[in-house]
Structure formats: C-alpha cells, structure tokens
C-alpha cells in the first residue's frame, strides 16, 4: 500500500492555471450568450 514513486519528481503543469488565464474572456462571452438565450425564450413565450 506504499507509494513507490520517487520523491524528486517535478510537479507537472497545473491545468487550472491555463483555465484561469482565459476566464476574463470566457466569462463575459458566456454571460452574453446566456442573456441572449434567456431574452429569446422570454420573447418567444410572450
């Protein structure tokens, strides 16, 4: 049950850091798409 990997391995690239760098672009675009879809649904139901 012990871990047989050596302790001198360098940590790999963190995938979260790649996602966080894209957040200022992705979040406003996702918000705009969501508002458009909600407005489209509201107008079509009216």
**pLDDT digits 0-9 by tens, 14-45:** 888 888 999 999 999 999 999 999 999 999 99
**pLDDT digits 0-9 by tens, 5-15:** 666 666 678 88
- The ranges assigned to domains in the chain are 22-46
Banded pLDDT at 4 (limits 50, 70, 90): confident
Q: b vs e for 34-43, b when ≥16 Cβ sit within 10 Å of the residue's Cβ?
A: eeeeeeeeee
């Amino acid at each position: 049950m012990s871990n047989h990997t050596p302790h001198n391995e360098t940590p790999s690239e963190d995938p979260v850091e790649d996602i966080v760098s894209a957040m200022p672009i992705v979040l406003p675009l996702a918000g705009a798409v969501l508002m458009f879809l909600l407005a489209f649904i509201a107008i079509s139901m009216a």
